[in-house]
Amino acid sequence: MTELPDFCRLDRRKRAIIDAARSLFAEQGYERTTLKDIVDRAGGSLATVYKVFGNKDGLLEEVVFEKAASADVMIQQAFAQGGSPSEVLHRVGDGLRTHFLDPEVVALVRIVISRSVEDVDFARSFYERTAQRDHASLKTLFEHWQASGIPMIGTPDMLSDMFLDMFFSDVHTDAISHGAGLDHSRERLRDRIDFFIRGAGLSDQPLDKGGTPEMKSPANSR
């Protein structure tokens, strides 16, 4: 029963291979990266790659699904911290921005998209574990607010869609233009989320009825 040592050793190998593969895939794309490249960077041996992952596709799956975490936990937390819809949405937006700003995430999205032709199931599975899950989490938020009597225009489903669109479109643009066309500043994000909040009819409903009904400042036209 020499399980533990073997496991550890193999495990270290596995880690090194996955890390090397992820960075190489991100740099060069999947097709252009040869297994030799990966072995050269990770150390170890080609034979090990086949022993652990079966083949190149198997390795890709491990790499992608390890990194393809949904942001749902972050969304729950942002909600749990409390505050008005506006405050929560700004927090969520910050979290999503950080997540999608990661160049490795963009690179993986590129790979998934290019493989989505040959392997629809793979891509769809990625979609379900990321975008669809984010959507569901966000939808829950709007449902909560709706249930607690906060007025909004549009269904939770539609609002969640629109909110995420702001981020997917940025990832999309980044994937094509390699960041040439995009300003990822915090100010831009703030403006966009404020825009969303107006569209959703969520402009601060003062739960405390102390303040004025939100005098729209003309400062928005930057």
Partner DNA sequence: GCGAAGGTGTAATAGGCATTACACCCTTGC
Partner DNA sequence: GCAAGGGTGTAATGCCTATTACACCTTCGC
CA-only gyration radius of the chain, Å: 22
202, 150 in Cβ contact below 8 A? yes
57 φ, ψ (degrees, to nearest 5): -60, -40
- Tell me which of DNA, a copy of itself, none is bound by residue 44, counting a contact when its beta carbon lies within the kind-specific cut-off of 5 to 8 angstroms: DNA
Q: Which does 51 bind (CB under 5 to 8 A by kind): DNA, a copy of itself, none?
A: DNA
Collapsing DSSP states into helix, strand and coil, what is residue 3?
A: helix
Task: State which of residues 15, 27, 29, 43 lies at the interface with DNA (CB under 7 A).
Answer: 43
By CB under 8 A, is residue 24 in contact with a copy of itself? Answer: no
CA distance 95 to 214: 26
Among 19, 23, 41, 57, binds DNA (CB under 7 A): 57
162 near a copy of itself, judged by CB under 8 A: yes
Mask for 2-31, x = binds DNA (CB under 7 A): x-xxx-xxx--x------------------
Q: Which does 138 bind (CB under 5 to 8 A by kind): DNA, a copy of itself, none?
A: none
Our CB check for DNA shows the closer of 117 and 219 to be 117
Residue corresponding to tokens 């233009």: 177
For a copy of itself, which residue of 9, 12, 51, 124 counts as binding (CB under 8 A)? 124
Angle at 125 between CA 123 and CA 77, to 5 degrees: 115
C-alpha to C-alpha distance for 116 and 17, rounded to whole angstroms: 24
The reply to whether 107 sits near a copy of itself by the rule CB under 8 A is: yes
Q: How far apart are CA 212 and CA 204, in angstroms?
A: 10
Spell out the residues 6+ positions from residue 189 whose beta carbon is closer than 8 angstroms to its own.
Answer: 93, 94, 97
Q: Provide the minimum distance between the beta carbon of 50 and DNA in the complex, in angstroms, as a whole number.
A: 5
- The answer to whether residue 113 forms part of the interface with DNA (CB under 7 A) is no
- Cα separation, 11 vs 7, in Å, equals 6
Measured in degrees and rounded to the nearest 5, phi and psi for residue 218 equal -75, 0
* Interface with a copy of itself (CB under 8 A): 27-29, 31-32, 107, 109-114, 116-118, 120, 123-124, 126-127, 131-132, 152-155, 158, 161-162, 164-166, 168-173, 175-178, 180-181, 188, 191-192, 195-196, 198-201, 216, 220-222
* Interface with DNA (CB under 7 A): 1-2, 4-6, 8-10, 13, 32-36, 43-48, 50-51, 55-57
